[in-house]
Structure 1
Amino acid sequence: MKTKIFLSVLLFLIINILLLAQSDYETLQNFKSQYKQIEESIKNVSSVDECNAISEKINNLRNDFTGNKTFLDKALYPDNFESALVKIEKSLEVKKTDLAQISTLTTQVGSLQVQVTELNQKNEELIKQINELMLKSEKDQATITELKRLVAQLRGNINQRDLLVRDLVDSLLVAFIKSPQNLNQKESQAIMSKVNKANLFYNIERTIADNIQFTKVTQMTADDFSQMKKQYSDFDKVWKQIGPRLSNVYLNKKQKKSEIAQIDSLFVQWNDQIDSGIWRSVNNLFIGKNIYLAPFNNADLFVTNVSAFIDEEIKNIGAKSKNESEDIYYTFADSVYYKTFAKKWLPVLIENNMMTQSQKDVVEAKIEFWKKEAVSSFSYWIYVITIIIILFVVVYIFQRTKKKSIKVE
């Protein structure tokens, strides 16, 4: 009899232990399942309102399982019940901050888009007016003044519009940075919506096209080209960050992928146009002083053609008069190369990797050799002394004028 009672009690205890173990297992799995659902919801949330709903779910999870806290503290090791909940609460707060920032950026994008559209229209009209004035066969002073005014206005508008478009691109870049490398369908749709609202592709294409057109209708200085080269480099760098990711977003949309490829091509055209404009301007420096080099559009050709020109001049030293040979040297070296090219254009070329220091050294060594061949020592010192005398006379006149001015006072 006692044995039967003992066995019954033992069986009762075993059943209860098994039931308790099963209950604990179910509690742990239930907690993990709800926790996992909340984690996934945080990843896919797309609005602040959704964040608030998830926050409510976290509170419910805490309330529902507080009675099992002691068990969950052990079962969730190395985490515990409270630390696990704090972890998803922090993830939710980060997501809310990101969404608030993106919401602010979306509002800014709408404002930027209006400003960009207005500037696009103004620039289109300015380019039309400049082209009309450029086509006039005879340009009086009033026309030249108006051209300068319109070009200055167009330059300012293009710079302002470039900055606005950069802000549009930057706002999209923020969205990409905040998103994982592989976007889900909902995230991709959100990106596409931003791109469409900002009319992003058109505005980038228009920005590049206007900059290309600007180099064609205006006479740009070395500083102008240097500034545009920097604008190109900065913009191209940003585009290279988002272009490939946009290609993934629009993987199944042929038209949009075509537009992205077109923008890639336009960036290449823009850079080529800047480079061509720089070399064209350098060539015009020499032409302006009646120095006619063979055409060039890169540093290799420039070095080759300058060397060929100098070699030809050295060869003709005996055929030309001594004064003519010296005049050509001084015009080339002092009036063009060292006075303007070396001071204004060479730094732009070297800074933008369009010409190397060694290529510069080759040209200048060639010029130095030419000087020894074309300019006699006596003539050279006469030239130097003449310059010194002129400077002395200028300083003397300046001092005399200054003394008279002081006496009058």
Structure 2
Amino acid sequence: MKLRITILLTLIIGLFSSELHAQQAQSDYKIQQTFKEQYADYQQQIEDVTSPDSAEKVIDSIKQFEQRYNKHQELLDKALYPDTYEQKMEELKKSSVRTLNKIETITEQKSQLQELENQLASYEQDLNQLDQQTDSLKNAIRKSTESEKELSNMVRKYRQNLEKRDELILTFIDSMVVTYQDMDLEALEEIENYDQKSRIKTNDALKLIHDISEENIQILQRNASSLQLDDYMRMAEVNYQFQSMWNKLGDKIHEVYEGENADMLADNINGNLTKWNSLLQSNTLDAVKEYFAQQDIETASFKSANEFYTALDSYLDQKIKESKDNRSDENYSDLQKFKEFWDRVEVQWTSNLAYADVLSREQTTELNQKVDEWTKIAQPRSNNILVYLLGGSVLLAVALGVMLIREKKNSGSA
């Protein structure tokens, strides 16, 4: 009887242990499967996040997920072999942080682009308004029957409008540089994946750059008679800054503002800049000719930048030789007139002339040495004689004074 009871108990315990083992195995399997399913869900959430807030929520949830399964690490190592639980969790956490950083970058750049869009609208409006005013003035000047004084005031107002336009373009360039120079194009490409509505579909920036380059060509083509050398020197600075911005950022701007006509606009801009440079150079040379004619500076004729440098170089050599051979008032007067022009070159226009491809910095330096040499020897001889006579008079007066003093002393002692 006891034996039967023992056997029965053994069977019951064995069955119970088997059941417990089966339940334990089933529970372990469920833990492993649930972990894998939730892990895959977090991977999907990381791919689907669209804002920094949602990315941070996923990161916090992953931390809680890790805390729940830390105690099952050994069990999960078996299910994840050859990977480990620790490796998989580290991979998930790094992925979530990378996504957060990417989303933050995208959000910041979206904000910058939107701000730039608003600025572009303002720039375009202001430029259009200035262009309309400038065109109206140009038409009025062309049709004017007013007095010379009234016409002169209209021309001055016209030039002031062009100056305001150039200032606005420089501000626009600064905005483009600030927005685009550190822009991450790879992150921008992700904008469509995260939020298609936020992708900027317009060609506003590219279009505005194109329109500015077109308008600048038109200004140079149709306004030569109304502009002076000062205007072209200012335009040379604008041209240099504009072209530097395009050379540095053109590819990024083209990439961001994709559209059906983006390639055409970019190609036109490159062509316009080449034409702009050529017109600026030729108009500047014409303005220099007019300035020289007004100031009676008689250099050899020139039609190109190389000829201009040669004309100045020859003119200075001739004037230096004249000064050495015969210092005269006429030569000295020529120096004063030329130095009035050259002082502005040296102080204000060295960079601008280089930007306009009229005189390189090296050429300006070489010419400046000759201007200095001319200055040293151009003093008229008549002026030098006066200096010598004046010096002799002073010495004679001193000698007479000494003699009088001695005469008085001698008289007193007698």
The TM-score by the shorter chain falls in which range?
Answer: 0.5 to 0.7
- Deviates further, 93-102 or 126-135: 93-102
Aligned to 1:260: 266
Aligned to 2:412: none
Residues 7, 151 of structure 1: CA spacing in aligned structure 2 closer, same or farther, 3 A cutoff?
Answer: same
Residues 130, 330 of structure 1: CA spacing in aligned structure 2 closer, same or farther, 3 A cutoff?
Answer: farther
Question: Match of 2:302, SS?
Answer: coil
Aligned to 2:242: 235
Aligned to 2:157: 149
Residues 219, 380 of structure 1: CA spacing in aligned structure 2 closer, same or farther, 3 A cutoff?
Answer: farther
CA deviation after TM superposition for structure 1 residue 220, in Å? 4.1
1:213-232 Cα offsets, whole Å, 9 max, x none, are: 5554543454x555544443
Specify the code of the residue in structure 1 equivalent to 2:332.
Answer: Y
Aligned to 1:333: 335
Q: Distance in 2 between matches of 1:383 and 1:302?
A: 38
CA deviation after TM superposition for structure 1 residue 9, in Å? 11
Aligned to 1:193: 200
- Of 158, 168, 176 in structure 2, the residue corresponding to residue 160 of structure 1 is 168
Q: Distance in 2 between matches of 1:302 and 1:61?
A: 73
Partners of 2:112 and 2:179 within 8 A in 1: no
- Deviates further, 69-78 or 108-117: 69-78
Aligned to 2:121: 113
- Deviates further, 112-121 or 259-268: 112-121
TM-score after normalising by structure 2: 0.64
Residues 363, 254 of structure 1: CA spacing in aligned structure 2 closer, same or farther, 3 A cutoff?
Answer: same
Specify the code of the residue in structure 2 equivalent to 1:349.
Answer: T
Specify the code of the residue in structure 1 equivalent to 2:252.
Answer: R
Q: Which runs of 5+ in 2 are unaligned?
A: 1-6, 78-83, 390-414
Partners of 2:141 and 2:155 within 8 A in 1: yes
Q: Distance in 2 between matches of 1:383 and 1:274?
A: 48
Residues 382, 26 of structure 1: CA spacing in aligned structure 2 closer, same or farther, 3 A cutoff?
Answer: farther
Partners of 1:310 and 1:370 within 8 A in 2: yes
Partners of 1:201 and 1:259 within 8 A in 2: yes
**Based on CA coordinates, which of the two structures has the bigger radius of gyration?**
2
Q: Distance in 2 between matches of 1:165 and 1:360?
A: 28
Partners of 1:247 and 1:260 within 8 A in 2: yes
Specify the code of the residue in structure 2 equivalent to 1:258.
Answer: M
- Of 289, 309, 314 in structure 2, the residue corresponding to residue 308 of structure 1 is 314
CA deviation after TM superposition for structure 1 residue 122, in Å? 3.5
Q: Distance in 1 between matches of 2:227 and 2:361?
A: 27
Q: How large is the RMSD of aligned CA atoms in angstroms? A: 5.2
CA deviation after TM superposition for structure 1 residue 178, in Å? 4.7
Residues 206, 315 of structure 1: CA spacing in aligned structure 2 closer, same or farther, 3 A cutoff?
Answer: same
Specify the code of the residue in structure 1 equivalent to 2:261.
Answer: Q
Q: Distance in 1 between matches of 2:367 and 2:143?
A: 38
Q: Which runs of 5+ in 1 are unaligned?
A: 387-409
Partners of 2:213 and 2:272 within 8 A in 1: yes
Partners of 1:120 and 1:161 within 8 A in 2: no
Partners of 2:59 and 2:93 within 8 A in 1: yes
Q: Distance in 2 between matches of 1:344 and 1:151?
A: 21
- Of 81, 88, 93 in structure 1, the residue corresponding to residue 96 of structure 2 is 88
Q: Distance in 1 between matches of 2:197 and 2:368?
A: 58
Residues 33, 357 of structure 1: CA spacing in aligned structure 2 closer, same or farther, 3 A cutoff?
Answer: same
